Chains A and B, each alone.
Chain A
């Protein structure tokens, strides 16, 4: 690298751009790190087990799991960046160039925002949809303030009229849910449903210039620091191998059930990763039967539903067909299918 002494601020623009390039280089590595970490976690930190998992686990399967588990975070990042950067841009236009958040928001194409909104509409849980509405009206209002200097009534409509009307409609829709949540003592659910429609009109214009950086740039930086941990925790819990139960027994002998995650089947044996992290090889001749076990269902945090729509369900989940989990196979509980 050149070793040039250039005058300027603390980090001159050229140096700052170089940092951004490095960030963009490192960003794709994050999912890779997550995938490897997931396998390490699955192997209970045992290197040989992890290497065997690497050998057999399909990268496509892992990426599918990553995709399904984390798809909702993509629009969240895009929209929050757009809104926070937009506020910074309209509040302190001269100073905004120093913040990566504002630069990103300025350069973000509109179609990216549109796609993010559509993706979020399908993949976010109902309790987050009022927040999505808030982000949408905020983006509309901020775009108008940032780009146009039109007649007063037009600006008033887009920065006040739309958020107020939209918020009112959302409130009408979620009102039964708020009442139910308060009755059930779920204050957080009630807040998630009821607060965003009220906040909409407040996020469509500038904040005082002195506070702009404090309330936009630094929260974004904080979120960026916390997000990898949250995403990591969410993903480390996601299953990447199918839960199965295998009935094992020599012909005529007693039968027992091995529960775990089926890694692979080859011409001599079935390889199963058991719950404790140990790998079991079962000779093919000893396998009596196999079954797929349902994932242990994470009990919902909230029992509230808005007009029959459970707050933890996303629009995608009622559009897509589901298979209700019926009776649990006794093999999944570790008991042979036909005892004795």
Chain B
């Protein structure tokens, strides 16, 4: 149990009951040794000192010589790897590649706009309609405009709608309520994407609605199944409208107006026999006037793809805005929780279906949108 180690032999004291004394060892006196022990030790030390030479002078300790050590190079390499990894990761993330959404916003100048001017139709119930009494804009295009504006960071009161004529859609010049010409930042006005318009420099977003052409007549008109059924008759259409081209091929007497409401006035005044334009536009009138009108489905397989015009030309700002709008459409299409498009359809077009049976109005699904080429950092989730 007791381990006394190499300490001095303990004298018989109170701490240990049985004092031990080792034999055969030189007596070494400690602080507690007896006077006899100390004297013996002193003599022994003196004798030893006499025999020994003086100790050599102390030599300053030199650092051990440097020698090649692989471990330090490993450590140095580790430090280098650390710095390089961080540097390369940052270069990969922030240099080159497509622009980020923040860069696109700067490029498009969105952050400098105090309000967002959007050109829309004002006479198409269900698509874009301005009620002069209540001063409320409503319709599918209006809801899509609010959706885009929301993602661009504009609150509802910062979105300004201006009525735009069909011919002005490419020029993006709208009219305010007092008749002044107003340039707008984008046009969401039942504007079909065509190769011809693209060739002329119009920058369309991806499509936000698929619809088709149809014909609206008074209720006593004979059945219309193709444009040929209208040959020789007077048909009103919108100027610069896609349906005007098809009509002229079918030897129809086309009367072009700038506004669908003008066409409707002619139709109800029996001055024309029919109106031809996109079904989504005509469906709203059919619902509004009920039995007075008939809405005919045409046997056309061509699809009208409505897109958002963000400007003419190849300016970087326009292209950036185009990508930003596409990002919104892509989000709405891809993200199952984003139901803004579905609500817009449900509130404006779905409600017209019953009044228009059996004529289809539009495809009840958002058109697929390809993923915009936008840089997304690993921790961001802007694009689903």
Q: Which residues of A are interface residues toward B (Cβ below 8 A)?
A: 2, 4-7, 136-137, 140, 143-144, 147-151, 154, 157-158, 161-162, 165-166, 169-170, 172-173, 307-309, 313, 315, 318, 324, 326
Contacts and interface: CB of A to CB of B under 8 A. Distances in A.
Contacts of A170: 86
B151 to A, nearest CB: 15
A324 B338 CA distance: 13
A166 B78 CA distance: 12
Given A149-B63, A158-B75, A309-B377, A4 B3 contact: yes
A147 to B, nearest CB: 7
Contacts of A140: 75, 78-79, 82
A144 B82 contact: no
B2 A318 contact: no
Contacts of A318: 378-379, 381
A308 B86 contact: no
A307 B63 CA distance: 50
B73 to A, nearest CB: 8
Nearest to B86: A169
Contacts of B4: 4
B177 interface: no
Contacts, number: 78
B3 A162 contact: no
A162 B83 contact: yes
Contact of B76 (A2, A6, A158, A173): A158
Contacts of B2: 2, 4
> What secondary structure prevails in chain A residues at the interface with B?
helix
B7 A149 contact: no
Given A6-B5, A169-B90, A157 B379 contact: no
B5 A150 contact: no
29 contacts: A2-B3, A4-B2, A6-B5, A6-B7, A140-B78, A143-B75, A147-B72, A148-B75, A149-B63, A149-B64, A150-B66, A157-B79, A157-B80, A158-B76, A158-B79, A162-B82, A165-B83, A165-B87, A166-B83, A169-B83, A169-B86, A169-B87, A169-B90, A170-B86, A172-B90, A308-B377, A309-B377, A318-B379, A326-B337
A162 B78 CA distance: 10
B380 interface: yes
Given A172-B90, A318-B378, A154 B76 contact: yes
A318 B378 CA distance: 8
Nearest to B102: A308
B59 interface: no
B15 interface: yes
A173 B82 contact: no
A89 to B, nearest CB: 16
B195 interface: no
A161 B102 CA distance: 34
B86 A147 contact: no
Nearest to A147: B71
B86 A166 contact: yes
A298 B331 CA distance: 28
A140 B79 CA distance: 7
B114 interface: no
Interface residues of B, number: 33
Given A6-B5, A162-B79, 19 more contacts: A137-B82, A148-B69, A148-B75, A151-B66, A154-B76, A157-B76, A157-B79, A158-B72, A158-B75, A162-B80, A162-B82, A165-B87, A166-B86, A173-B90, A308-B377, A308-B382, A315-B379, A318-B378, A326-B337
Contacts of A169: 83, 86-87, 90
Interface string B16-33: 000000000000000000
Contacts of B78: 140
Given A148-B69, A149-B66, A308-B377, A166 B82 contact: yes
Nearest to A141: B79
Interface string B191-231: 00000000000000000000000000000000000000000
A162 B75 CA distance: 11
A151 B72 CA distance: 10
Contact of B379 (A136, A144, A158, A313): A313
Given A7-B7, A169-B87, A154 B72 contact: yes
B44 interface: no
A256 B57 CA distance: 96
A149 B62 CA distance: 13
Interface string B91-130: 0001000000010000000000000000000000000000
A151 B15 CA distance: 57
Contact of A148 (B71, B80, B86, B94): B71
B1 interface: yes
Contacts of A154: 72-73, 76
Contacts of A161: 79
A149 B75 CA distance: 13
B83 A150 contact: no
Contacts of B15: 5
Contacts of A136: 82
Contacts of A6: 5, 7
Contacts of A315: 379
A193 B80 CA distance: 23
Contacts of B64: 149
A162 B72 CA distance: 14
A84 to B, nearest CB: 20
A277 B137 CA distance: 54
A276 to B, nearest CB: 36
Given A2-B3, A150-B72, A307 B377 contact: yes
A243 B63 CA distance: 67
Interface in B174-204: none
